[in-house]
Structure 1
Amino acid sequence: MMARIITTLLQLYYLQIHFVLLVSRQGKVRLTKWYSAYSQKERVKVIRELSGIILARAPKLCNFVEWRGLKVVYKRYAGLYFCMCIDQDDNELETLDIIHHYVEILDRYFGSVCELDLIFNFHKGSGLINSLRLEMQDSLVEIAKEQASLVSSLIAQATK
Structure 2
Amino acid sequence: MIHFLMIVSSAGKPRISRFFSHQTEQIKTQTAVINLCQRDGKKEGFVSYKDMTVVYKLYSSLYFLAGVSQDENELAVFELFQNLVETLNTYFGKVTEVDILFNMDRVYMIIDEMIIDGHIAETCSSRTLVPILLMDAAK
Measured against the shorter chain, the TM-score band is 0.7 to 0.9
Equivalent positions of 1:124-143 (< 5 A) are 124-133=106-115, 136-137=120-121
Length-normalised TM-score, structure 1: 0.70
- How many aligned positions are there? 120
Q: Output the CA distance in 1 between the equivalents of 2:28 and 2:41.
A: 22
Query: What residue in structure 1 maps to residue 126 of structure 2?
Result: none
If each structure's helix is expressed as a fraction of its own residues, which one has the higher value? 1
Query: What residue in structure 1 maps to residue 13 of structure 2?
Result: 28
Two-structure CA RMSD over aligned residues (Å): 1.6
Amino acid at match of 1:18: H
Percentage of matched positions with identical amino acids: 32
Instruction: Determine if the alignment matches structure 1 residue 54 to structure 2 residue 37.
Output: yes
Superimposed CA distance per residue, residues 114-159 of structure 1 (whole angstroms, 9 cap, x where no aligned partner): 000011111111110011126x5367xxxxxxxxxxxxxxxxxxxx
Partner-residue secondary structure (3-state), 2:12:
coil
Q: Output the CA distance in 1 between the equivalents of 2:39 and 2:63.
A: 12
Q: Output the CA distance in 1 between the equivalents of 2:82 and 2:22.
A: 25
Partner-residue secondary structure (3-state), 1:95:
helix
Amino acid at match of 2:36: I
Query: What residue in structure 2 maps to residue 108 of structure 1?
Result: 90
Query: What residue in structure 1 maps to residue 135 of structure 2?
Result: none
If each structure's strand is expressed as a fraction of its own residues, which one has the higher value? 2
Query: What residue in structure 2 maps to residue 69 of structure 1?
Result: 51
Q: Which runs of 5+ in 1 are unaligned?
A: 1-15, 140-160
